[in-house]
Amino acid sequence: MIPEVYNFAMNAVPEGAGARPIRLLPDTLISQIAAGEVVERPASVLKELLENALDAGATAIDIRLDAGGVKRLRIADDGHGIPRDELAPALTRHATSKIASLEELENVASLGFRGEALASIASVADLTLTSRARGAPHAFALAGGHRDPARAALAAGTVIEVAELFGQVPARRKFLKSEATEFAHCGEALRRIALSRPEVSFTLAHNGRVAQHLKAETLEARITHVLGEEFARGARMVEAQAGPIGIIGMIGDPAQARASRDAQYFFVNGRFVRDKVLQHAVRAAYADVLHGDRQPAYALFITLPPAGVDVNVHPAKTEVRFRESQGIHQFVMRAVSAALSASAADAPVPMANAASGAPAAIVDGGADAVRPPAMFTPTPMSLFRAAPPAGQPQSQAAYFAMFSAAGATSRAMEAPAPSYLPAPLPEGDMPLGHAVAQLHGIYILAQNRAGLVVVDMHAAHERILYETFKKDLEGERIAAQPLLIPVAFNAERIEVATAGDYADALDRLGFEITPLSETSLAVRSVPALLADTDAKALARDVLKELQEFGSGEVLTRHRDELLSTMACHAAVRANRRLSLAEMDALLRQMEETEKSGQCNHGRPTWYQFALADLDRLFLRGR
């Protein structure tokens, strides 16, 4: 953006800058300067025009681009149109129908409101506006630079054609990239808009060929179409409401997280935003299920009263300011955490089942001659609380029915079974099934309805312990360890100010940080749990986070790291022999534990091999 303005200034300077009187700039020049902020490339034109179309109540929008949108960009909508008399003002700077007063600005619900877009675009390109207001006998067209609309033919709505973008501004044109790149940017702009309005259909054509067509559909379907089937398969729904604030959307499976942040879509009241408070909240929720530096994919929609958010921060409106950013942060983080917390038993968590089950009945069915009785004793370990439930006759029947579908095949499979399977397998509808063996002291093999489940027992147990530790600590008051010798450090002024502003929040976290001077702070108390960590670094991190996001998540992160290490040390190690009952208990616990699909370091804990997959390996059932 800057180069544009800068360029004008550069041209002006050589003529003896100091001597010129101060004057109002010509209108076109002002629009061109404004265009520098809003219109950066075809994609930004597309964004502005799509927003206008949506604000006009369009239900179907047709986009045609030529040469990446640089040569021609045409948008046709079926909205309410613009009456003849308003066509000329529409192309004038600061003219809009969307707001009329400051009160309305504070409660703005439309996507646009500045009244600058059309004028700005018209100042850097050839713009033609054709529109037929609802009820008008015919349409009128107005080209940029003209005052009088001419009659035109159009069934309904508005068509805006932008040609030769930056034709008159060679400096800006130089910054445009290749046709393919500009088209890709336009595609991204469309994706953002399309996600936010699933009830509107979009058609995008490039150089005369249809590149994408999205019909009016549900939000879920729209997200699937825009972010891809692969995302949708592992995605989880997020939905939460707290008073007037709501969030809905889909978040990607942690295991599918990617290296770049390109599939992260956040919408606030239907407007796409890039907001670090929101990004941070999601990131915090993903903290211990993501492997390394991976980035989660998501499309999330937040609705809140327009008064709760200031969108008038930047002309392009991708930045917003929340009145209650701390509350929003918490809200988003909780909602996403809850969605991620779904346990190994994704959909039907058999809580009731597990609770009512008869203890260790699983092994009573015979075949006792084959194995040593010791292996059947219910485990005394307290960490295996849930006793495996008894098999239910009807589901057992269903299980066998499933097998008999394969006919003779299943007979063959059953034949050798008694020698190593725990007898007539009582197959309740346990998502992770029942353990059948331990492999090399590392993996648990379990059999469930779908086929074979392989569980990394250390990773799984680690997660179970970790979640237990966390639950134990939650709700407890944070114990503080005051320091005998305070840790003093030189601080930025902003840190000193933050320490003062958030004294209460810090106190709740177990911190006491007091200013020594305008540029130094003393840590006088730290959370007892983290008493051995570097107090200065910890304090700095916490202050930074409080200042930026209004929350002290960094502490939870440090605490969780500690708990994670403890969990890792306490979890069963490889080569530890587990009895079937113990393994089953572990599986049941996984089903009840949040986030049990990943270990604390983001590695998967279990894997499902469907019977069909196995069949394929052996070329069966073809």
Partner 1 sequence: MHLVTAERDALLKPIQTVSGIVERRHTLPILSNLLLTKTDGELSFLATDIEVQISTKAQCEKGQDAATTVAARKLLDILRALPAGANVSMELNNKKLNIKAGKSRFSLQTLAAEDFPTVSQSAEFKAGFTVGQKSLKALLALVQYAMAQQDIRYYLNGLLLIVEKGQAKVVATDGHRLAFAALAVESDVDRQEVIIPRKTVIELERLLDDSDEPIRIDIAPTQVRFQFGNVELVSKLVEGKFPDYNRVIPTGYKNSFSIAREELIGCLQRAAILTNEKFKGVRCVVGDGSLKISCTNTDQEEAQEEAEIDYSGDAIDIGFNVTYLLDVLAHVKSETITVALGDANSSALVTTPDNTEFKYVVMPMRI
What residues line the site for partner 1 (CB under 8 A)? 472-473, 476-477, 479-485, 487, 510, 525, 528-529, 531, 534-537, 562-563, 566
* Helical (H) or strand (E) element with 242: strand 236-242
Contact indicator for 434, 440 with CB cutoff of 8 Å: no
Among candidate residues 591, 582, 597, the one with its CA nearest the CA of residue 441 = 582
Q: For residues 465 and 606, give the distance between their C-alpha atoms in angstroms, rounded to a whole number.
A: 16
Beta bridge partners of residue 527, listed in sequence order: 480
Q: If you ran DSSP here, which 8-state letter would residue 454 be given? A: E
CA distances from 509 to 483, 529, 553 (A): 15, 11, 10
Distance, C-alpha 415 to centroid of its chain: 49
Between 68 and 510, whose beta carbon lies closer to partner 1?
510
Which residue shows structure tokens 């239900």? 59
For the CB of residue 469, give the shortest distance to partner 1 in the complex, in Å: 8
Contact indicator for 175, 43 with CB cutoff of 8 Å: no
Phi, psi of 443 (to 5 degrees): -110, 150
Alpha helices in 78-156 (DSSP H): 84-90, 102-106, 117-124
Among candidate residues 148, 154, 46, 156, the one with its CA nearest the CA of residue 87 = 148
For the CB of residue 466, give the shortest distance to partner 1 in the complex, in Å: 13
Cα-based angle 135, 139, 141 (whole degrees, multiple of 5)? 145
Between 168 and 481, whose beta carbon lies closer to partner 1?
481
For the CB of residue 11, give the shortest distance to partner 1 in the complex, in Å: 55
Between 396 and 481, whose beta carbon lies closer to partner 1?
481
* Amino acid making up residue 111: L
For the CB of residue 523, give the shortest distance to partner 1 in the complex, in Å: 10
Between 151 and 385, whose beta carbon lies closer to partner 1?
385
Between 330 and 525, whose beta carbon lies closer to partner 1?
525
Longest CA span, the chain:
107
CA distances from 194 to 111, 230, 541 (A): 13, 19, 38
For the CB of residue 360, give the shortest distance to partner 1 in the complex, in Å: 24
For the CB of residue 525, give the shortest distance to partner 1 in the complex, in Å: 7
For the CB of residue 290, give the shortest distance to partner 1 in the complex, in Å: 25
Between 24 and 484, whose beta carbon lies closer to partner 1?
484
For the CB of residue 326, give the shortest distance to partner 1 in the complex, in Å: 24
Between 494 and 537, whose beta carbon lies closer to partner 1?
537
Q: For residues 415 and 148, give the distance between their C-alpha atoms in angstroms, rounded to a whole number.
A: 89
For the CB of residue 546, give the shortest distance to partner 1 in the complex, in Å: 20
* Helical (H) or strand (E) element with 617: helix 611-617
Between 124 and 522, whose beta carbon lies closer to partner 1?
522
For the CB of residue 486, give the shortest distance to partner 1 in the complex, in Å: 8
Between 67 and 488, whose beta carbon lies closer to partner 1?
488
Between 437 and 483, whose beta carbon lies closer to partner 1?
483
Burial profile 174-208: b = 16 or more Cβ within 10 angstroms, e = fewer = eebeebeebbebbbebbbbbbbbbbebbbbbbbee
Radius of gyration of the chain (CA): 31
For the CB of residue 530, give the shortest distance to partner 1 in the complex, in Å: 9
* Helical (H) or strand (E) element with 232: helix 229-234
Between 119 and 529, whose beta carbon lies closer to partner 1?
529
